[in-house]
Amino acid sequence: MKLLTVKELEDRAMRNIRNYEGNRPEAQRPETGRNYAGAAVQAFGNLSFTMTIENIGVSAEDQTIALMPAYFSTAASVKDASGAAVDAIIKQGTVIATTGKVVTAVGKPKSIDEFLLFIQHNPVRITGLKMKVDNNAQFSEDILFRKESPLRDLGFKTISPSNYENSMQNNDKIVEIPLTDAQFDNQTSVVTTIKAGRTVTYTFFLGAIRNEAALLDQDVKMASGAGFMGR
């Protein structure tokens, strides 16, 4: 078999890398970012990220928190359903530092800060949400998903966790919410209110991930005859 020169390998790779519009017809490979057809994964699959938020200061107040800030860097820019600015953007550690009203958060398996940075560059489909609370009054607080644009108002939709409470289940402090059209990316803000005195754990189940770094790596390896090697 003829060995290809470096120049020939590069030329072949460039012929096979998809154009900007993403028109290549291949089916989705896990976490590669190709055009996806069909359900990403089962609603409550194995890949997930968890945020646990505590609003239990001695003078705690209801706090509106951005779980996803879109492309915004300040709380003043992220809005709730009424158009008012949120109190804070979620982060690892201390979210609100006011004495007596401290709000803290922790991520799993890694930090919330790292997860948000990853989302900025790698859009992720969200296929399910599990909420665990210390008091089911928290389920009355809606979760708002808003598409953000500097050009026009794209509107928002809300999820009401209370709609998913099941009187037949033994644990009234957990709800599971399947999601069919939810995405975390740098153009989506996600906002909710953490009630005073509450501890809330959100587990987001992840589906397809648009990973441009993995996409390029795999395209070049395929074009050079190295075959598909997933990240």
For the segment 10-62, what is each residue's pLDDT rounded down to a tens digit? Answer: 555 444 433 333 333 333 344 444 434 334 456 776 799 999 999 999 999 99
Cα–Cα distance between 156 and 26 in angstroms, integer?
32
Tell me the C-alpha distance between 231 and 221, whole Å: 12
Q: Which two tokens stand for residue 98?
A: 């006011």
Residue 219 and residue 13 in contact, taking contact as beta carbons nearer than 8 Å = yes
pLDDT digits (tens, 9 = 90+) for 68-81: 999 999 999 999 99
Dist. CA 149–CA 14, nearest whole Å: 32
12 by DSSP, 3-state: which?
A: helix
By the 8 A CB rule, do 159 and 94 touch?
no
Angle, helices 212-223 vs 6-16, to 10°: value is 130
pTM of the predicted protein model: 0.78
* Omega prior to 150 cis, within 30 of 0: no
Q: Give the Cα separation of 120 and 186 in Å (integer).
A: 5
pLDDT tens for 180-194 read 889 999 999 999 999
